[in-house]
Structure 1
Amino acid sequence: MQAPQFFDSLWQHYITMTPQANRIQALFKSHGETVLNDHIAFRTFANSPISLEKLEPQLESMGYQAYGAFRFENKHLVARCYKHPDHNDWPKIFLSELLVNELPESCQRIINTMIDQIPEDAVQSPAIFWSGLLWEKPTLNQYDTLTEHSEYAAWFATMGLQANHFTVSVNLLETFTTLEEVNQLLLSEGYLLNEVGGVIKGSPSVYLEQSSTMADKIHYTFSDGKEKTIPSCFYEFARRHKTNDGTLFDSFIEGNADKIFDSTNTK
């Protein structure tokens, strides 16, 4: 699969889960903007048939290369980022995985039941990245248990493998040249923004500023028939700054990303 086809398929699936993204893109276009994507993010479980290690070769098959590694102690995550060496205009990819063995045993039991249902050969092509659930839905009680200890785990248990968010490149907008202007536009249209650590995460001094909406909400029926409104996916906005050598910063900042993860929190 070629990368452009990959991103198009991802986007079509993503906007079914995240209708706000389609509306926001239309909003920018109504102001004469062309919206281009900075990066896409995915979540997964470590030590599973869809671990980061198992998924990475599918990104490499499209020419993407890893260039950074991250650790989020409080959220029990590791992550890697990827870019295409020959296409700077193609989106970067941020892939994180949950270190399940660091969670309480009650959570490990729930997650391991899900992992046991994933076929060992589940990863066959890049299409795995929009495969959704590869296990039976959790019960509401299981979901609440996961939420208590890891919002990331609860989200992935209900949403599965899909684009967690796309990201508007503010650098490539023409009318809205700062993140403050982008955020003001979104707030004026009634969108709820992630305020954890401030509406803007990062600063020019760390070469990256990021904001995001709070995730769309969907009506979800759990495997025990109980229903609840839960978070789906969100839309992010990133502005990159030049480093001391004059090149545009192209990686990620752990402190920023840690707060962006909270865009899918239930509270």
Structure 2
Amino acid sequence: MASFIVLNAFRRKKQGISSTMVSLYSSSTIIKASFHSSFPPPLRSPPSSSLSVGSHTQLGKHDHSLVAAASGGVSMSTNRDSHGSSSHVAEPFFRSVLGQMETVYLNRNPTPRSVLDLVRSVDDEQLCYDHLAFRTFGIGGYGIDSLASFFLDYGYTQMDELRFPAKKLRALWFAPPHASAVLGGSGVNGPLPRVFISELLVEQMSSQTQDVIRKYTETSPNGKKYAALSSALGSLPWEKPQSSEFEQLARESEYAAWTLANGYALNHVTISVHRLKSHLNKIKKLNQFLEEKGFKLNSEGGVLKVSPDGGLLQSSTVADSISFKFSDGVTKPIPCSYIEFAERLVLPQFQNVPESEIKESHRRDGFEVGNADKIFESTNQEQLSRRRTG
């Protein structure tokens, strides 16, 4: 019976994210929590009830059973036709989950919401995402694979690995199915974005930092199975940490501290700048426009990050902060998420293709270690301090 209810809810995509999530979690205590926030509504209609920013909740047994029932009724694995396109049965489910991830992200982070509103006030045509990014702990199955499986099951393809030795990180990016374009759709309802998932190489950290991370991942050994669900609900798959443990991690790795407190929440979404139709479709013009409106951009390595081949140009805002109540009762602001911008230039071999015929496949693909290394700094205290004092 649970499978039937969930399957029908996922098929009713046009009824909105709210009906999907409420059908799935109507008896869950998680969905009963609400955002205690005065933020204006996000770009998309939020669900009828959301999660408290500072009150992360673990997934309960009842939620797990419902998800198991859903996966039994809606297959997410390689239901593709002879051309390799994703199953139409799975797409409402997949986009509903992405939509809920986006809603949590927009509710928690006023800067990305304001930026998206502002860009749309100038460029009211289709606004596309270049990629979505997540952070993970590379230990005990909690790393890249825990989230990647959700995207691979839908039809994404694993691409290149990137290494960041100084930050003790590695990352993989995943390309969406080719048949993912949606005419006129924006955000997660438009062409499906690339996915960038990074992980902290926990075994390379100090013993004290490893002990903190193991404390939370090992006491919730099954949380890794529900990484996508955790992201969509905005809840941690482990217990809320103590403030002293957060500080311990922050002294060695701000990435580690961010992940301990934010879990699988969307780290950022990225506007595909070259797909805009207005004069803002050049990243230098967009950066100038945003700075004139008072937005602080990540200045690490310069506001504009350019790949060595000159084909990938990126920038980002500085992360928002949220008030977080730790398990020891201490409440303090912590970095949350930000929004990125990416312009992909046409590859040299396609320079003679008429502009009206240029497609995404004609442009520079993939990611660049040097750019990404600086983009990671968007959540670091140095950038947040500059935002507060600037």
Q: Which category of TM-score, normalised to the shorter sequence, fits these structures?
A: over 0.9
Secondary structure at the aligned position of 2:196 is classed as strand
Alignment partners' CA distance in 1, 2:336 and 2:227? 24
Q: Does 1:259 align with 2:374?
A: yes
Q: d(CA) in 1 for partners of 2:268 and 2:146?
A: 21
Instruction: Give how far 1:7 is off.
Output: 2.3
Instruction: Give the superposed CA RMSD.
Output: 1.8
Secondary structure, counterpart of 1:245 in structure 2: helix
Is this contact kept in 2: 1:117–1:134, CA < 8 A? no
Aligned mates of 2:145, 2:239 — CA distance in 1: 23
Structure 1 residue 155: deviation in Å? 0.2
Inter-partner Cα distance in structure 2 for 1:190 and 1:231: 19
- Pair 1:211 & 2:304 matched: no
**Percent identity at matched positions?**
34
Picking from 147, 162, 185, the partner of 2:250 is 147
| Match among 100, 108, 119 for residue 210 of structure 2 | 108
TM-score under structure 2 normalisation? 0.65
Instruction: Give the structure-1-normalised TM-score.
Output: 0.94
Amino acid across the alignment from 2:300 = V
User: Shift of the alpha carbon at 1:134?
Assistant: 1.5
Larger proportion of strand: 1
2:225 aligned residue (94, 113, 123): 123
* Deviation for aligned residue 1:124: 4.8
Contact kept in structure 2, 1:49 and 1:120, CA below 8 Å: no
Q: Whole-Å Cα distance in 1 between the matches of residues 141 and 254 of structure 2?
A: 21
Listed as ranges, the gaps of 5+ residues in structure 2 are: 1-89, 182-190, 351-361, 383-390
Q: Give the Å deviation of 1:125.
A: 7.5
User: Which amino acid is 2:103 matched to?
Assistant: Q
- C-alpha deviation, 1:24, in angstroms: 1.1
Aligned mates of 1:121, 1:218 — CA distance in 2: 24
Aligned to 2:36: none
Q: Gapped runs of 5+ residues in structure 1?
A: none
Is 2:160 aligned against 1:68? yes
Q: Which residue of 2 aligns with 1:46?
A: 138
Alignment check: 8 A CA contact 1:230 1:266 kept = no
Larger radius of gyration: 2
What CA distance in whole angstroms lies between the structure 2 residues aligned with 1:190 and 1:177? Answer: 19
Number of residues paired by the alignment? 267
**Quick one: which amino acid aligns to residue 246 of structure 2?**
Y
Change (3 A) 1:166 1:145: same
> Which one has more relative contact order, counting CA pairs under 8 Å at least 6 apart?
1
* Amino acid in the other structure paired with 2:275: L
